[in-house]
Structure 1
Amino acid sequence: MSRMSMRALALCGLLLAGLLMPVQGYAQGETATRDTTEKGAPYVPTPRHIALKMLTLADISSDDVVYDLGSGDGRILILAAQEFGARGVGIEIDSQLVQRARRKARRAGVADRVEFRQGDLFDTDLRPATVVTLYLWPDMNNRLRPKLQRELSSGDRIVSHSFNIDKWPADTTVTMEVRSPSEPNKPLFLWRISAPDATP
């Protein structure tokens, strides 16, 4: 192999490593799709024990309607239906993940309690929700803040995995062990709506 060919191969390797770097947090066997990475929030599944803590932190009951913004493969809502009897709506931009979530809900026997919609979370009417779960980048959380404060009602709850919301102190913060020596522990943030914000 010529020196030029070897140099070209090395350059391709560096470029490939750079492209893969933003999604290193994917669980084994899970892959990012073009839709999830282009929208600014790559699909990184929430471990079951963290999802369960998010739901217990929000004090979920069978009376709740949980909206999961960026719902991925549906695991948080399926768990909410299985363990707490809650109803849920997942909003996900990636059509492949929406189909996967629907299949998982059918297999879990909770398809009558949860639904998954393909769409933009910023265009979603959140007024039916009593609980909203988030695992999004900080800038997306910050952009969502006015919508959350405007559309949710007094007593509704918001739980975010890993990322806070600027200039909105959480009512409760807990730290969860990731169970991986290579990753730091993850904070969970809970907000309770005291009164909806009428500011447009």
Structure 2
Amino acid sequence: MQLQKILLGIVASASVASLGIAGCTSPQLEAEAQAPTSTTQSPAAPTPPQERQPDVPYVPTPQPVVDAMLKLAEVGKNDVLYDLGSGDGRIPVTAAQRYGTQSVGIDINPQRIREAKENAQSSGVSDRVQFRQQDLFGTDLSQASVVTLYLLPDINLKLRPKLLQELKPGTRIVSHSFDMGEWKPQRVEQVNGSTIYLWTVPENVPENLRS
């Protein structure tokens, strides 16, 4: 009888121990089951760098002023015209339409470039006009014989050394609204309330204009 009680006590202790173990491990397993699984993910693709903001706001040159600028520069079919800050492309497109000029428009804004290409195509001059999404300060201007501008006074001054360094003597530069400081224009005209300026790149550039 005593042995039977001892055996029953051993069985009962084992059962309690088993229950104790189950009570400790079950919540742990449940927690592990609910925990997020760690997975290896491919790194996110790098975000392309944002375009530099334009130096000037987009304000289209009125068509009568475009016409006067091209006339003042005496643009012809043998010229290569570069329009810096070309916007919707109206200056290059007009030069190609009226004078058969090979023209290049430079603009940093991709939306303006899309508009300009559409305008060139609808005007039937895509074979004579190209548009480049570029920073005008990084553009090679050496092929231009005419340069047109509608920028701001400080941008004109910042651009002046580049123009005088890269453009060939005899290249004509026409600016809508703003001059170039100490570099005095050859001609100044008023058109529909706007002022336009003309310069010709000299053979010998004065030292004070180089910077």
Structure 2 CA distance for aligned equivalents of residues 42 and 35 of structure 1 = 15
Q: Over the residues paired in the alignment, what is the CA RMSD in angstroms? A: 1.8
Aligned to 1:188: 196
Task: Give the aligned residue type for 2:175.
Answer: S
Percent identical among aligned pairs is 47
- TM-score, length of structure 1 as denominator length: 0.76
C-alpha deviation, 1:193, in angstroms: 1.1
Aligned to 1:120: 135
Q: Number of aligned residue pairs: give it.
A: 159
Structure 1 CA distance for aligned equivalents of residues 134 and 51 of structure 2 = 11
Structure 1 CA distance for aligned equivalents of residues 202 and 58 of structure 2 = 31
Residues 152, 196 of structure 1: 8 Å contact kept: no
Aligned to 1:56: 71
Aligned to 2:84: 69
5+ residue gaps in structure 1?
A: 1-33, 178-184
Distance of aligned partners of 1:96 and 1:196 in 2 relative to their CA distance in 1, 3 Å threshold: farther
Aligned to 2:115: 100
C-alpha deviation, 1:60, in angstroms: 0.3
Structure 2 CA distance for aligned equivalents of residues 79 and 35 of structure 1 = 28
Counterparts of 1:1-200 in structure 2, within 5 Å, are 38-177=53-192, 185-195=193-203, 197=205
Structure 2 CA distance for aligned equivalents of residues 82 and 195 of structure 1 = 31
Deviations 1:129-162 (A, max 9, x none): 0000000011000001000001111111000000
Structure 2 CA distance for aligned equivalents of residues 196 and 77 of structure 1 = 29
Deviations 1:163-192 (A, max 9, x none): 001110000000111xxxxxxx21100001
Give 3-state SS (helix, strand or coil) of 2:92's partner.
helix
Give every structure 1 segment of 4 or more consecutive aligned residues whose post-TM-superposition deviation is greater than 2 Å. Answer: 196-200
Give 3-state SS (helix, strand or coil) of 1:175's partner.
strand
Distance of aligned partners of 1:196 and 1:108 in 2 relative to their CA distance in 1, 3 Å threshold: farther
Deviations 1:37-82 (A, max 9, x none): x423001001111000000000000000000000000000000000
5+ residue gaps in structure 2?
A: 1-49
